[in-house]
A and B are shown apart, each in its own frame.
Chain A
């Protein structure tokens, strides 16, 4: 086994749902020992998805497939943070760790006495990442934020619907996704800095800001031209045709992007050089862009009677970017993704094996990283409290009895 980049790095993880867990999953797959801190009284909300599905309260906490997807390779201990002794134990773990990650609402870590200033007393070079919607400063710092709300607030929804129609949502928790990756990146940068200088730091990640940092076209069209962009649909600023067109079958679609004049000519040849393709209104890129409502209808007339796979292959062979709009099952059946080992299977003690998406990390021609199943609630209590902190069985028993370890 090749060396993993974060071997020997220990991370205390208070995060739940997606933005935080996605960041710490990257770090765990990269070799860090990520210790998730939960409790029976406050488990990661994603565990409850399994609980609801089983329909029986209490037995599903270890059977959530969505929790399993975001917590690969992590360890788990349970501490009831409403108890002062639990907070003391957390501080002991932090004392032998490198990084702390949390995504509570603003103020929670302060109330627990686990804010950056306090943890720095325990471990002067600690790196702490706080992920939140609005960020940890400013008048709206205590506002609640879910991805859907960040998409709305940041202006992403105003760009994301159908052209000429009201704003619309993203289909997944996209801001969490952006924040997750950004968080993992900044932790690696902070570790790099600490290794060189011995200095830790506080990383204040706002999901709104991470999202806005990835939509400069719309932001700067406003700051340069005072233009307020509306919904783009599948369109591009320059290319046309550039869209998602219906194919044969139920709810099957293909995305096509024609980039330049050469590709346009190839495209026309493939669709049989219809008379309309020689009309004045489609004669050059600017005219095509201007008349793309009509153009899209005509392209759709061609795609509608053909299979996704046939269109994709024919256009790709002519050097045109095209591909199916894939569903989850399409992805799972995709030969290319299979061949590149995009899916991983790990043996989960309660749910067994099934293909899951793996961080797409390939190095020197192979899948890279450490892939272990998501932890059961409290699965590593013994490791954390006995092995790491050196508590005796008596002490541990008492902490369990007092519902400190809970």
Chain B
């Protein structure tokens, strides 16, 4: 994999579930060598699914398979003396260590930055934790749900509610906090490598998932601080989102339209008389009269399918999005023409379509050259071939629960 953009980097991943593994995945898919250290019982994502046929199996979790492409997998119990020794040997060779354990756990294991930087002063250590390495919440627990809520994004999701008593704030689909934390960690890890090339020294990066989420409210924080604008989650004080309009087979998302888009919009609807009314004459009046406008527009959309509305509007430079299910987005002609979804074959799980690269790089594309490792798949390759242990050593380590 030396051909990728990050082909010269060696990454050690000691991370669980999503944030840390996603951070290492985007680097692995760009060519970095990633050695993933799992505890003997395996990464939690192996138990999380979804699984083919809903039958749980540690080698068949979709989440795990997706997050761990291109990695070499080693099992290690860092609580054991041998396990810790091997961990140190792996740290010695690593450019970046990615971990997402509690600060207190890493200290208890003797794997804190202070200790590891003595073994490898050039090490860039990326620590991801729920609330960071210091501060009053340092030892608080959180998962994706709690991070989305405490980070403030959930309070403003879905963005426009009618009855705040029965409609709680929402986390949004999937594990958005974990993923956004993972990609930020990757960004900071590469920044650490860039600093190291200037100074020769490693560094300890402290990323809090709480802050990784909260940062993305920067617009609302700033407009509150400077202008005193208190953002609301009530539809009556709508932030301009949530304008789903029903159509024949679901919904379309429309957007407050400027004059140029409005022209295309009216043309797509077949130039109806109502569109010429004074109250729809400009962008401001259209926003002010959105309620009646939406009713009129819905007359047209209800007679049409979302895919047809999408193309009819967008081909006339009016913005619109079909509210797709995942099944529908998998059929998208646009994504197919760009080859976004990829098929990956795994010896235990089989061949499935995975989401592809988050970005297309012309010279050094994201590539999946090997599927996610089976539990301990590369123990021998790493411990015997690289670190020089014998097969008998390995047998002893297995017996003593070190690997």
Contacts and interface: CB of A to CB of B under 8 A. Distances in A.
Contact of A332 (B145, B221, B333): B221
Given A216-B354, A227-B50, A236 B145 contact: yes
Contacts of A342: 211, 214-215
Contacts of A325: 149-150, 154-155, 168-169
Interface in A138-183: 138-146, 148-162, 166-172, 174, 177-178, 181-183
A115 interface: no
A326 B314 contact: no
A356 B222 contact: yes
A246 B131 CA distance: 23
Contact of A234 (B171, B195, B362): B171
Contacts of A149: 253, 255, 319-321
B230 A7 contact: no
B291 interface: no
A378 to B, nearest CB: 21
Contact of A148 (B321, B326, B363): B321
Contacts of B86: none
Interface in B48-65: 48-54, 62-63, 65
B152 A326 contact: yes
A192 interface: yes
A4 B319 contact: no
A185 B218 contact: no
A222 interface: yes
A365 interface: yes
Interface string A171-205: 11010011001111110111111011001111111
Dominant SS at the B interface? mixed
Interface stretch (B34-42, B202-210, B269-277, B390-398): B202-210
B89 interface: no
B314 A140 contact: yes
B192 interface: yes
A292 B172 CA distance: 18
Given A138-B338, A193-B5, A365-B133, A316 B208 contact: no
Interface in B307-324: 314, 317-324
Contacts of A253: 149, 155, 168-169
B154 A65 contact: no
Interface in B139-157: 140-143, 145-146, 148-157
A157 B243 CA distance: 12
Interface stretch (A35-43, A268-276, A333-341, A397-405): A333-341
B106 interface: no
A340 B211 contact: yes
A233 interface: yes
B340 interface: yes
A220 B354 contact: yes
Interface in A316-337: 316, 319-332, 335-337
Contacts of A137: 337-338
A335 B210 CA distance: 13
Contacts of A185: 26, 183, 186-187, 190
B333 to A, nearest CB: 6
A339 B133 CA distance: 12
B361 A189 contact: yes
Contacts of A232: 171, 173-174
Contacts of B353: 219-220, 223
Contacts of A363: 192, 203-206
Interface stretch (B76-84, B159-167, B296-304, B380-388): B159-167
A55 B46 CA distance: 56
A172 B240 CA distance: 10
Given A186-B359, A336-B131, A357-B215, A146 B352 contact: no
B266 interface: no
A222 to B, nearest CB: 5
Dominant SS at the A interface? mixed
B132 A340 contact: yes
A134 interface: yes
Contact of A171 (B145, B158, B165, B212): B158
A118 to B, nearest CB: 15
A326 B283 CA distance: 33
A340 B329 contact: no
Contacts of B184: 181, 360
B155 A360 contact: no
Nearest to B221: A357
A152 B322 contact: yes
Given A137-B337, A224-B62, A364-B203, A201 B226 contact: no
Max count, chain B CB within 10 A of own CB: residue among A177, A184, A356: A177
Given A152-B322, A257-B146, A161 B352 contact: no
Q: Which 5 A-B pairs have the closest CB atoms?
A: A159-B173, A171-B156, A149-B321, A5-B194, A360-B211
27 contacts: A68-B226, A139-B333, A167-B323, A170-B158, A172-B156, A195-B197, A201-B362, A203-B362, A210-B359, A213-B358, A215-B173, A218-B174, A220-B66, A220-B353, A224-B352, A237-B50, A245-B168, A254-B149, A321-B146, A323-B149, A324-B149, A327-B152, A327-B231, A336-B210, A339-B136, A356-B225, A363-B206
Given A143-B319, A190-B364, 19 more contacts: A30-B194, A139-B334, A161-B158, A169-B242, A170-B172, A183-B359, A185-B187, A199-B363, A205-B359, A214-B183, A222-B330, A224-B53, A227-B50, A228-B327, A253-B155, A257-B146, A323-B142, A325-B168, A362-B207
Interface of B: 5-6, 8, 22, 26, 30, 48-54, 62-63, 65-67, 130-137, 140-143, 145-146, 148-160, 164-165, 167-176, 179-180, 183-184, 186-188, 190-195, 197-199, 203-208, 210-212, 214-227, 230-231, 233, 239, 241-244, 251-253, 255, 261, 314, 317-330, 332-335, 337-338, 340-341, 352-364
